[in-house]
Amino acid sequence: MTAEVFDSVAGDGPDVVLLHGLFGMGSNLGGLSRSLQDHYRVHSLDLPNHGRSAWTESMALPDLADAVQRWMEHRGLEMAHFVGHSLGGKVAMQLALDAPYRVDALVVADIAPVAYPPSHDAVFAALAAVDGAGCRSRNEAAKLMAEHLQEDSVIQFLLLSLQRNDAGEYRWRFNHKLLRERYAEVREEVALQSPFNGRTLFIKGGDSPYIQDEHRSAIEARFPQAEFEVMSGCGHWLHAEQPALFNKLVRRFLDG
């Protein structure tokens, strides 16, 4: 798999790589990036098939991790700290297991290395409705999406990836057709190999269902040094719901 990975870089110091979730882009973790830039050089990546990165034929976790590792080679980075949210957390975990010499400290935000059932049918329906409508405004797109999605916060998040083409019509920046075709791949477990023995922090949203007590054995089998933090009163989008606390937890762990 060959893929060009788009990145933005800010700050100076030890390298930290930020990986966003499904349907997102590197700027989704912009608040965390800004909070770290006084002491770290922060790389915000767009994963393949997202943002400004290349469209590929795969969303398998090993392929995404390989794309990140090849980006590191291109940038001359031997090792970095990694912070990944949701899908980005799975990719970071996969990279840590595949190439532990690339990962210093690892922070995983609200995801476990387990297989998940499908839960995005309404999102894919909303994306398809907009893609086929030739929308001329974001408001028009939002109204179409509201026929499938009840949460305005989800609609606003997805609208961040809407861009206008040369014909004046709005289209998705991410490869939504490929994401739907390969959706099963992003839901797969992070395969158990030799464990990653580096410093690892899992941060769970207190109201989020993504990390359960029964996932602990799967986490500890892969990441025996794992530490855990729970952010009460927030869900899966913990970095957006309580940014000050999330940034504090990440910074404190990375400072180590």
What would the mean pLDDT of 35-64 be, rounded to a whole number? 97
For the chain, domain boundaries: 7-116+188-255, 121-181
On whether the 7-116+188-255 domain is CATH 3.40.50.1820, my answer is: yes
The yes-or-no verdict on residue 1 having pLDDT over 60 is no
86 is catalytic: yes
Q: pLDDT at residue 198 above 90?
A: yes
Neighbours of 209 (CB within 10 A): 12
Q: Is the pLDDT score of 2 beyond 60?
A: no
Return d(Cα 123, Cα 131) in angstroms, integer: 12
pLDDT digits (tens, 9 = 90+) for 72-106: 999 999 999 999 999 999 999 999 999 999 999 99
What number is the average pLDDT over the span 55-78?
96
Distance of CA 81 to the CA centre of its chain: 15
**pLDDT of 132:** 82
CB 201 within 8 A of CB 253: yes
Does 219 have pLDDT greater than 60? yes
pLDDT at position 193 is: 83
Dihedral sign for Cα 157, 177, 173, 51, please.
positive
Catalytic residue among 20, 176, 236, 239: 236
What's the predicted TM-score (pTM) here?
0.96
pLDDT digits (tens, 9 = 90+) for 145-185: 999 999 999 999 999 999 999 888 899 999 999 999 999 99
Q: What pLDDT sits at residue 3?
A: 54
Cα separation, 92 vs 250, whole angstroms: 15
Q: One of 86, 176, 208, 239 is an active-site residue; which one?
A: 86
Q: With 90 as the cut, is the pLDDT of residue 22 above it? A: yes
